[in-house]
Structure 1
Amino acid sequence: MYASRVVFFLLASLSWLRSAAVAGGCGGGDRPVIFSFGDSNSDTGGLVAGLGFPVNPPNGRSFFGRSTGRLSDGRLVIDFLCQSLNTSFLNPYLDSLAGSKFTNGANFAVVGSSTLPKYVPFSLNIQVMQFLHFKGRITELASAGSEVPVSVDEFSKALYLIDIGQNDLADSFSKNLTYSEVIKRVPSIIAEIKSAIKTLYDQGARNFWVHNTGPLGCLPQKLSLAEEKDLDENGCLSSYNSAARIFNEGLLKLCQEMRSELADATIIHVDIYAIKYDLIASASKYGFLNPLMTCCGNGGPPYNYNIRVTCGTPGCEACSNGSQYISWDGIHHTEAANSIIASKILSTAYSTPRTPLNFFCRGWYVQVKHI
């Protein structure tokens, strides 16, 4: 068993390296600039910086050796994507003490964010407003002849990554709304994402990378809290996943429509749901044990999740080997799972249209010719 797991992770590493090579960095001397908007799936420390809310160890133990505000034992998907572009991890926009000069962009994603309600910390439209302030200050400083971390023309060349919507659905179910009531909210969620893309476009953004939401019904937290367990063949909540798929269908349609509406923009839709569900359905193939069990939790089988004793709080212990688990804390993924998710994103097999991550680099067309 141990030998087979070693072989698996060696193969996974080789796959990651091949994927990263395809993505590459920016050619022609260009540097990748990324602006990220979303929730805890992409938050690299925004919650801690913005609200002072503690994210305690063992978060961060696998890669960083300390807590960095990420809800995982190590790197997030966005961290792996940055590494594939040969750029440093994105610093939170709100972290003034990070020592970041924001030369490769900024991360506006914050734990708990959703699209609705608007104008609450840190809903999607607030994140976009923060970006507008950031861009406005850069423009003012550049006009005054001051040194700026990102040149004004790099805003139009940058990649705008959006990964949000999971909390909108999760919060709706947590409020005991019926399935049909949750579905009725989907158009409003999609409308907020459309508004965000259009606002960014009006500010010169032309390159968009949009993630749909994962299988909500496969999260150990949801499974442990659900009173009625309408489980599918892989042990996930069917109604929750159905709502996620309906949202994802709407998001894919939105991306298709906006590609026509915004003719000079590139809008890539990435099927995160398919990637993450495959991890659950084929867990043993990837070397994972108990795909619906939490690594860092307190509750025992089958999910090891206790809402009163969550990861990072006293009385909660983490498993000894996070690489055997998909779920880190009942909601978020382990670094091992995030690595596989990122490699599948980089493969372009889950992107519509199929496009390498570094498409926004001027040197991309030259690179693709030689792949």
Structure 2
Amino acid sequence: MASPPLCSFCHGRFTLSFSTTIHEVLLYLLLLSTFLSSLPDSVLGECKNPPVIFNFGDSNSDTGGLVAGLGYSINFPNGRTFFRRSTGRLSDGRLIIDFLCQSVDTTFLSPYLDSMGSTFLNGANFAIAGSLHFIGDAGFRNGLYVIDIGQNDLADSFAKNLSYKEVVKKIPSVILEIKYAVEDIYAQGGRKFWVHNTGPLGCLPQKLSTVQKAPDDLDPYGCISSYNDAARVFNEALLLLCEELRYEKKDATIVYVDVYTIKYDLIANSTKYGFSSPLMACCGFGGPPYNYDVRVTCGHPGYQVCDEDSKYVSWDGIHYTEAANSIIASKILSTDYSTPRIAFDYFCN
């Protein structure tokens, strides 16, 4: 069994990778709290009363749940850029949720499964690789509930060799589970929700290297059109759900953030941001065009990794680099992609 995350000031989240529904996980996550510690002054914002953040997502926002709860080995070079050691994050450095936490002067979230050694005074991270869903607690009525799911639901459906039409048919049931989850949190007193839509699944090097595709299956930037189309259908349904919930629960603040557009822009205009090979993993195996091999993944024997001063969008074929996450987070914080246009620091109590 691997030890808990090494970074003592991390307050990350963990995502469930089991076949649980959002509704079930909501009921499971009734114990929430925060882990408080100091951050470097250079990353602090001006939030005098940081919100207590409860994060529900997948491995893109897992700050150590795989390691702390499931004993999964996440080896160096994961964590090499910022932490200089592996902290359980599937990236070379900080995740989007880390940058969001820093923007409101709160500490990094500790994984919910990392119950030993964490006080959870500042919130908790319920994200884990493969996770499908999440929860809320009556004792944390003033908490900010960050929801970032959908990618794994879509990826899992495509992995089962379902057709595009079959995958799209499953989307309403996923959206319904998200609705149940939010309603459960609301029933427990939760009133603040920050909802990210899902990213361009068809642009992930992992998908591009493992899915059989014809040239006409790819869009102008080399991404799998059907996968991205399914993500957009999911996002449209999620936006409608947020509008519905906002209308029904007028005393709640529900912000929908178009992360898809932000991430797709990094691929389509990669040179503008200084990135090279936007569809190629920095850490993996096999070389161009994708540097991804499911048999030799990042941190495991045989992996190849790009130079530390190079700029890649994809870290390991599935997750993003710190450089990409930093840009994504800054655009999220701009409110240009938010509906309604409410700033993240609005939730400073």
TM-score using structure 2 length: 0.85
Shift of 1:26: 3.4
Corresponding residue to 1:53 among 48, 57, 72: 72
- Distance in 1 between residues matched to 2:191 and 2:336, nearest whole Å: 22
Q: Deviations over 1:109-149 (max 9, x none)?
A: 111111xxxxxxxxx1xx42xx54xx6xxxxxxxxxxxxxx
Task: Name the counterpart of 2:295.
Answer: 308
Task: Name the counterpart of 1:36.
Answer: 55
Task: Name the counterpart of 1:71.
Answer: 90
- Distance in 1 between residues matched to 2:270 and 2:279, nearest whole Å: 10
Q: Secondary structure at the match of 2:59?
A: coil
8 Å Cα contact 1:323-1:334 kept in structure 2: no
Q: Deviations over 1:144-194 (max 9, x none)?
A: xxxxxxxx4xx2222100000100100111111001000000001101111
Corresponding residue to 2:347 among 350, 353, 360: 360
Q: Deviations over 1:225-281 (max 9, x none)?
A: 111241000010000000000000000000000001111000000000000000000
Q: Secondary structure at the match of 1:106?
A: strand
Give the alignment of 1:98-137 within 5 angstroms.
99-114=117-132, 124=133, 127-128=134-135, 131-132=136-137
Give the alignment of 1:1-371 within 5 angstroms.
24-27=45-48, 30-97=49-116, 99-114=117-132, 124=133, 127-128=134-135, 131-132=136-137, 152=139, 155-229=140-214, 230-321=217-308, 323-362=310-349
Equivalent AA in structure 2 for residue 234 of structure 1? Y
- Distance in 2 between residues matched to 1:31 and 1:318, nearest whole Å: 37
Q: Secondary structure at the match of 2:60?
A: coil
Shift of 1:323: 4.4
Q: Secondary structure at the match of 1:307?
A: coil
Which one has a larger percent helix, Structure 1 or Structure 2?
A: 1
8 Å Cα contact 1:326-1:337 kept in structure 2: yes
Shift of 1:25: 4.2
Shift of 1:321: 2.8
8 Å Cα contact 1:162-1:211 kept in structure 2: yes
Q: Secondary structure at the match of 1:332?
A: coil
Shift of 1:324: 1.1
Task: Extract unaligned runs of 5+ from structure 1.
Answer: 1-19, 115-123, 136-151, 363-371
Q: Secondary structure at the match of 1:168?
A: helix
Q: Secondary structure at the match of 1:255?
A: helix
Shift of 1:32: 1.9
- Distance in 2 between residues matched to 1:178 and 1:342, nearest whole Å: 33
Q: Secondary structure at the match of 2:56?
A: strand
Task: Name the counterpart of 2:20.
Answer: none
8 Å Cα contact 2:66-2:72 kept in structure 1: yes
8 Å Cα contact 2:270-2:276 kept in structure 1: yes
Shift of 1:310: 0.6
Cα-Cα RMSD: 1.4
The percent of aligned pairs where both chains have the same amino acid is 68
- Distance in 1 between residues matched to 2:204 and 2:287, nearest whole Å: 15
- Distance in 1 between residues matched to 2:318 and 2:283, nearest whole Å: 10
Q: Deviations over 1:10-30 (max 9, x none)?
A: xxxxxxxxxx89xx4434xx3
Shift of 1:352: 0.4
Q: Secondary structure at the match of 1:268?
A: strand
- Distance in 1 between residues matched to 2:319 and 2:90, nearest whole Å: 6
Task: Name the counterpart of 2:18.
Answer: none
Task: Extract unaligned runs of 5+ from structure 2.
Answer: 1-42
Distance 1:35 1:198, change over 3 A: same
8 Å Cα contact 1:322-1:336 kept in structure 2: no
- Distance in 2 between residues matched to 1:106 and 1:358, nearest whole Å: 18
Q: Secondary structure at the match of 2:75?
A: coil
Distance 1:52 1:188, change over 3 A: same
